[in-house]
Amino acid sequence: MTRPTFKLSLLAGAVLLASAPAMAADTDWTTFFDAPIPATITNLQTPGNTNITTRTIQSMNVGVDATSRRGGIAIGTATNASDLGVAVGGSANTDNGGAAIGVAARSGKAAVAIGRQAAALNDRAVAIGGTAVANEKGAVALGSQATATAAGAVAIGGSNADALTDYDAATATTASATNAIAIGQNAKATTANSVALGNGTTTAAASKTLNSTVGDITFGDFAGQSVTGTVSVGSSDAQRTISNLAAGALSTTSTDAVNGSQLHATNTVVANVAKSVKGLIGGKATVDPKGNITTTDIGGTGATTVDGAIANLKGKIDNFKSATVSAGDGIQVTPTPVNGTTDYKVALSADAKDKLDQVGDLAKDVAANKTAITNLNTTTTNLTTRVAANEKGVAGNKAAIEKNAADITDLSGKVATNTTNIANNKAATEKNAADITDLSGKVAANTTNIANNASKINTLENNFNDLTAEVGKNATAIATNAVDIADNKAAIAANKAANDAKNAEQDQAIRAAKTEVQAGSADVEVIPSTGAYGQSIYTVDMSAVNKARLQNVDRLDSRMRAAEGRLDKMDKRISDLDDKFGAMGASTMATAGLMQSYRPGQSNASIAVGQNSKHRAIAAGVSTISDGGKWGVKAAVAVNTEKDVSSSLGVSWFW
């Protein structure tokens, strides 16, 4: 047997049968169908019947082996519609008041099953989607292979299995516990009154938490002890965060969820407390990242706990109670009892204070003597200069005396020679008598000069002796000054140390004032060099990494230009799609303009046109509502200026 063909004209003919009063009683009803399809419309009052205005249809069967009961509609091969039920699609089957739409779809009492092999098998259940299953009272399964297998359970989400050839339980959305809700592909709500949100989410048994212990502290008296279920957004190996959550109320009776900012505020307070405790303990106390406070050598006692430090101090205090204080040289100790202890006042003795006063006076004398010593040094320098000048004059006189002695020796030789000549030559003696007389005068003059020189030498000797006496006096003063000089030397050494420290400080300031240039980040590099006049030159350039990045930017620019070409092609395709969508909009407008039946027993056929921007479409449709107003059928077809043809078929039931 050839499988029958079901087209729009078949439904239109079936509907128009009930609203054609002008047709003869012997009209051939099969002319409304494109093929000889066995179809049965039971309890139809013919056009010749006087009661034709009621147009009552008790049930409708369209398709091979289609069956229906009172008020039922069965459309498709081997479909079965029970009382007031609607079965559309091959092998679709429904119980009283139910609806099964789709190949092999099955529905229970007042239940709805839509989709291939969809099954809503219990009272008021809903299964929408290929192989969707809702098999308990009030269960809802929405999506391909979605499964709700407990009373009041809700499963919303599809499966990635092939809807025509495969069934994958591992990826199906399942709500298998009473009043459980599973939303998302492969979501599984297996705990009563629980909710599984998101792909792959699972639920676990809800537990009541009375208290919680962290370390040595137990937190308890929690609110929210009437636990009926749980809400899960992930699984044991795939968790999710919950974002954009408002801050929940914080009180002894609050059951609100808290967000990250509230926990951060709490953690900040805890961190501040730990920091404050660390500061109060002082010493070498530390806080590790987990908040543990570690103490070592508290207060320099060597103890690691406050109790140990207090015990250490107590021991020292106990030992100190029996301590004694002895007075040393120049020290006076005065003991005074205070609250069970002894207060020892230590001060300088009167004798030590007097000695310190004398030292102060001595320091003043030393300061005054420094000026006198300076003046004495100046006088000594002047005397030394004068002594050097006198020594130079004595050396000159000594040379003159030695020259006179030589002259006298030479003259004596000449006198001896003359005496010999006088003895040998009387004549020569007489002749030379005048010369001798003259020579005698010169000798006398020389003798006078020698006497004068001797007097001068004596004067110089006296001056030298006086200078020697002065030098002796100065030696005593110099010896006295040696002590002051030693003191001055110590003061100078102290001043030198202070000056050295000051010079070091100034050197540091000079070095700190030197201008240097450093790279602010790895993005730049600084190259130092020396200029023609010794100045420092710093060349700032892009780092090698950034130069490489710049080259990458150039390559990226060429890639972007290539991408722009591809985007232009995509823009063309989007423009084509825009025409398609515009035409679809025109078809939608035309279909929306079709009139439809709106009261029981009414049928109609209508034509409408639609326009969306530059696109236009025309649509034609038919509709009918049963005389009892329990069900209705609507069909439409539309064609647009892009030559796209669209159609729709709908069956409605009312209760």
- Indicate the SS3 state at residue 499: helix
What CATH number did the domain enclosing 134 receive?
2.150.10.10
Count CB-CB contacts under 10 A for residue 562: 10
What span, in angstroms and rounded, lies between the C-alpha atoms of 590 and 619? 6
- Whether residue 76 lies inside any domain: the answer is yes
Q: Are strands 211-214 and 217-220 parallel, antiparallel or unpaired?
A: antiparallel
* Domain count across the chain: 4
At 441 the pLDDT is 61
- Indicate the SS3 state at residue 537: strand
Q: Are residues 313 and 367 in the same domain?
A: no
- Between these two residues, 457 and 582, which has the higher pLDDT value? 582
Domain span at 632: 580-653
At 84, the pLDDT band (50, 70, 90 cuts) reads very high
Q: Are residues 279 and 368 in the same domain?
A: no
Q: Are residues 380 and 475 in the same domain?
A: yes
Radius of gyration of the chain from its Cα atoms, rounded to whole angstroms: 66
CA distances from 240 to 199, 235, 297 (A): 11, 9, 47
Q: Are residues 275 and 390 in the same domain?
A: no
Q: Are residues 389 and 483 in the same domain?
A: yes
Q: Any idea which of 189-193, 459-463, 631-635 has the lowest mean pLDDT? A: 459-463
Q: What is the mean pLDDT of residues 26-47?
A: 39
Q: What is the pLDDT of residues 103-130, one digit of tens each?
A: 999 999 999 999 999 999 999 999 999 9
Q: Which of 217, 237, 260 is the last residue of a domain?
A: 217
At 210 the pLDDT is 82
What span, in angstroms and rounded, lies between the C-alpha atoms of 47 and 469? 175
Q: Are residues 84 and 183 in the same domain?
A: yes
Q: Any idea which of 146-155, 287-296, 606-615 has the lowest mean pLDDT? A: 287-296
Q: Are residues 35 and 102 in the same domain?
A: yes
Q: What is the pLDDT of residues 478-532, one digit of tens each?
A: 555 555 555 655 655 666 566 566 556 655 654 554 556 666 666 667 677 887 7
At 41, the pLDDT band (50, 70, 90 cuts) reads very low
Q: Any idea which of 1-15, 152-166, 448-462 has the lowest mean pLDDT? A: 1-15
Q: Are residues 20 and 151 in the same domain?
A: yes
At 36, the pLDDT band (50, 70, 90 cuts) reads very low
Q: Which helix (H) or strand (E) holds 317?
A: helix 306-321
Q: For residue 453, how far is the Cα from the chain centroid?
A: 108
Q: Any idea which of 202-211, 352-361, 401-410 has the lowest mean pLDDT? A: 352-361
Look at residue 311 and tell me whether its pLDDT is greater than 70: yes
At 1 the pLDDT is 36
- Whether residue 312 lies inside any domain: the answer is yes
Q: Is 507 buried (19+), middle (13-18) or exposed (0-12) by CB count in 10 A?
A: exposed
Q: Are residues 356 and 308 in the same domain?
A: no
- Whether residue 112 lies inside any domain: the answer is yes
Q: Is there a contact between 634 and 621 (Cβ–Cβ < 8 Å)?
A: yes
Q: What is the mean pLDDT of residues 635-646?
A: 89
- Whether residue 335 lies inside any domain: the answer is no
- Between these two residues, 143 and 25, which has the higher pLDDT value? 143
Q: For residue 293, how far is the Cα from the chain centroid?
A: 26
Q: Are residues 592 and 494 in the same domain?
A: no
At 29, the pLDDT band (50, 70, 90 cuts) reads very low
- Between these two residues, 34 and 633, which has the higher pLDDT value? 633
Q: Are residues 294 and 173 in the same domain?
A: no
- Between these two residues, 510 and 582, which has the higher pLDDT value? 582
- Between these two residues, 206 and 76, which has the higher pLDDT value? 76
Look at residue 241 and tell me whether its pLDDT is greater than 50: yes
- Between these two residues, 542 and 564, which has the higher pLDDT value? 564
Q: Which region holds residue 35: left if phi is over 0, alpha if psi is between -120 and 50, else beta?
A: beta
What span, in angstroms and rounded, lies between the C-alpha atoms of 634 and 621? 7
Q: Which region holds residue 330: left if phi is over 0, alpha if psi is between -120 and 50, else beta?
A: left
At 222 the pLDDT is 84
- Whether residue 123 lies inside any domain: the answer is yes
- Whether residue 567 lies inside any domain: the answer is no
Look at residue 133 and tell me whether its pLDDT is greater than 60: yes
- Between these two residues, 414 and 41, which has the higher pLDDT value? 414
At 435 the pLDDT is 57
- Whether residue 291 lies inside any domain: the answer is yes
Q: Are residues 421 and 462 in the same domain?
A: yes
CA distances from 570 to 185, 526, 554, 563, 566 (A): 32, 48, 24, 10, 6
Give helix 426-512 / helix 350-424 axis angle, nearest 10°. Answer: 150
Claim: this prediction has a pTM higher than 0.75:
no
At 31, the pLDDT band (50, 70, 90 cuts) reads very low
At 355 the pLDDT is 61
φ, ψ dihedrals at 303, nearest 5°: -80, 150
Q: What is the mean pLDDT of residues 239-261?
A: 89
What span, in angstroms and rounded, lies between the C-alpha atoms of 133 and 141? 6
Most confident of 150-164, 268-282, 533-547: 268-282
Q: Which of 217, 237, 254 is the last residue of a domain?
A: 217
Average pLDDT across the chain, whole number: 73
At 447 the pLDDT is 56
- Whether residue 340 lies inside any domain: the answer is no
Look at residue 272 and tell me whether its pLDDT is greater than 90: no
